[in-house]
Amino acid sequence: DQQVKQNSPSLSVQEGRISILNCDYTNSMFDYFLWYKKYPAEGPTFLISISSIKDKNEDGRFTVFLNKSAKHLSLHIVPSQPGDSAVYFCAASYTGFQKLVFGTGTRLLVSP
């Protein structure tokens, strides 16, 4: 049972445009969500997180939006840069639950 889903395995965007990566979850207990970026043969790098008490969190070019009623979150990257090309994982957790549940990842390719 995949509790966190990233339905788009890949996304291609031109440099300077907005990248929107989507993530859906099924477990209503989740109250903390994170996005990680991963290059091949490297560990994931933490990007940004959001708690369920918020619906938006912004950090530089990265903004995460949370729609609790739809059990959906998205990561917006604007403007996109070629260096953003990587695999992006969303992850979810809830208070008292030590583990993170990861989605399957979306490969982002930003072309010059």
Partner 1 sequence: GAVVSQHPSRVICKSGTSVKIECRSLDFQATTMFWYRQFPKQSLMLMATSNEGSKATYEQGVEKDKFLINHASLTLSTLTVTSAHPEDSSFYICSARGVQGADTQYFGPGTRLTVL
Q: Which residues bind partner 1 (CB under 8 A)?
A: 32, 34, 36, 41-46, 49, 89, 93, 95, 98-100, 102-105
> Please, which residue, 30 or 63, has the CB nearer to partner 1?
30
d(C-alpha 108, C-alpha 77), whole Å: 11
Question: Taking the complex as a whole, how short is the minimal distance between the CB of residue 60 and partner 1, in angstroms?
Answer: 15
- Tokens representing 97 are 């639950």
Question: Taking the complex as a whole, how short is the minimal distance between the CB of residue 17 and partner 1, in angstroms?
Answer: 26
91 contacts 33 by C-beta, under 8 angstroms: yes
